[in-house]
Structure 1
């Protein structure tokens, strides 16, 4: 009778000399526990088994056997161990650029109103000049006319500057959302867009190019951008004409300059209104800023219309 160790991998039996070993000299497999040859077990039966114990259970060779429970394991409370995915649900405060972009609608509306009032103020001044040819005008009326012109013209110019800044912020945000929704990145950097919108001469062309890149798949939006671009370039041309006209001497030239200022204010009001219309079109909103309901038109077969007509006639006859 001898004591051997059986390899769990190649089933080779190795006699125990001196003490048990762990690894098989042939295949480096795990050697099972020493056993006598007359009670040798087949190699498919292991001489050990894994027993799962909780950390609080006693350990060792001489431990008492653990009594197994036949009930389904369950937790008495929600376990607090493990990984915890803490999601911050607090709203992210908008940046200064986002807050400015949200004000582009009210600023353009206010600019349109001020330039519209400037048209009437300039026409009122021209009427005073015509009346002054034959009648002396009271001083208070001249003061009111000058105040109305300065308030509307300068106010419209100041609001237009703020609206332009808000429009650039809106353009940057909208381009980011547009290309991110398509799974792409904006081919133009933010600095490139700002320079194209702020540098003279460039700002007559590049803003329209940036808008065309947003509405290239919208025929109606493309048409609106073309109309807006025409008014934008025409208003810039009128500013050059107005600067030249102011250099002309004479009372008649000054009177004609009042009419020219009224026409420039009218074009500026239309341009501001068109800018708001283009922005709302790109955002898929109405001019009030409310989301538009999409309507889909489908062709209806003539047979369906004829059947509906017959049903309507029968209902009318039944009544």
Structure 2
């Protein structure tokens, strides 16, 4: 008889009561005969038998025979991908590149301004000659109409070109000042806003533009940063022409408010002088901007290799001898 089987005449006992802890007979019912608490049913947990568990794989030690070898090209592998470097979050534009790009448009526009300003000055001179001739003789309608058309067309195109060239000149000076400061390893003495205001505000535009261009020239030449900038002769000539043009523009603007025949005749002369001065200033500006841009970004010398002669080696010459 197995040891777990109960002996005859002995009652089997159930689980202990959770309340009183006594063990009641198994056939006594679902309630404890001592305290009357409901006896909870047993909880069965199913577990697989030990024979059903998978056997641990046996570790087989394989001798290393070198890297794998393939008789044909394997068709498996990773998909081809091209690595690209990450782009910077906020790329900073190169001021020197911006100055050179502005220079490419500014210089042709300045020379166009020179041509139109000379044409406007010639038209004003022709009008003044007609005014002098009208004191003694009557003028033909064709000459007066041609003079008025030439003055009107030149007087309309010239200010437009002057304003466009002025905007590009201010933009070039802002970028060139930053490029010159970067080349010298210093911080620009004026912010872009102050440079723009120095070109536009009356009174300041007599001194600030010359100072900005002097600093650009000083840094572009590689002179010591603690040394006071000394403008070149070309820059001094441009500075004088620029200041004279600003002052003469104010005089012509105030003179146009006067009335009378003599005031109008004098106004024609002043307009002719102003157009001629504008043409000279635009030409000098084109030369100055070209010089400063070439100082900031000098052109690379082009080298050409020329074959002058072909000489045999020394061993071959000795064998022939």
Band the TM-score falls in, shorter-chain normalisation: 0.5 to 0.7
Deviations 1:187-230 (A, max 9, x none): 43222222222222222211111111111265996222211111
Quick check: 1:114–1:155 contact (8 Å CA) kept in 2? yes
Corresponding residue for 1:114?
116
Alignment partner, residue 170 of structure 2: 168
Q: CA deviation at 1:262?
A: 0.9
Q: CA deviation at 1:145?
A: 0.5
Show structure 2 runs of 5+ residues with no match: 1-56, 222-228, 303-321
1:121: Cα distance to partner?
A: 0.5
* Secondary structure of residue in 2 paired with 1:197: helix
Q: 1:159 — aligned with what? A: 161
- Residue 292 of structure 1 deviates from its aligned partner by 9.3
Q: TM-score, normalised on structure 1? A: 0.60
Equivalent residue for 1:276, pick from 286, 297, 300: 286
Do structure 1's residue 84 and structure 2's residue 70 form an aligned pair? no
Aligned to 2:135: 133
SS at match of 2:287: helix
Match of 1:104 among 98, 103, 106: 106
Residue-by-residue CA offset, 1:44-88 (whole Å, 9 max, x unaligned): xxxxxxxxxxxxxxx98532111147x9xxxx9x99899934488
Look up the match of 2:40. Answer: none
- Distance in 2 between the 1:147 and 1:94 partners? 46
Alignment of 1:17-56 (within 5 A): none
Q: Which of 217, 227, 239 in structure 1 is aligned with 2:249?
A: 239
Residues 215 and 249 from structure 1, CA distance in 2 versus in 1: closer, same or farther, beyond 3 angstroms?
same
* Residues 89-109 of structure 1: per-residue CA shift (max 9 Å, x gap): xxx9999x7765542112211
Structure 1 residues 131 and 156, CA gap change in structure 2 (3 angstroms): same
Give yes or no for contact 1:121–1:145 (8 Å, CA) kept in 2: yes
Helix, strand or coil for the counterpart of 1:284? helix
1:157 Cα deviation after fit: 1.1
Change (3 A) 1:244 1:81: closer
The gaps in structure 1 that reach 5 residues or longer are 1-58, 295-319
Using the alignment, how far apart are the partners of 1:135 and 1:291 within structure 2?
60
Q: 1:240 to 1:85 in 2, by over 3 A?
A: closer
Q: Residues 238-295 of structure 1: CA distance to partner in whole angstroms, max 9, x if unpaired?
A: 123223433444423322221221111111111111111110110128xxxx95979x
Task: Write out per-residue CA displacement over residues 26-49 of structure 1, whole angstroms, 9 at most, x where no aligned residue.
Answer: xxxxxxxxxxxxxxxxxxxxxxxx
Does the CA contact (< 8 Å) of 2:124 and 2:268 recur in 1?
Answer: yes
Higher relative contact order (CA 8 A, sep 6+): 2
What's the offset of the Cα at 1:167?
0.8
Find the aligned partners of 1:259 and 1:171 in 2 and give their Cα distance: 33
Q: TM-score, normalised by structure 2?
A: 0.59
The partner residue of 2:61 within 60, 63, 67 is 63
Rate the CA distance shift 1:93–1:211 in 2: closer, same or farther, 3 A: closer
Residue-pair matches, total: 225
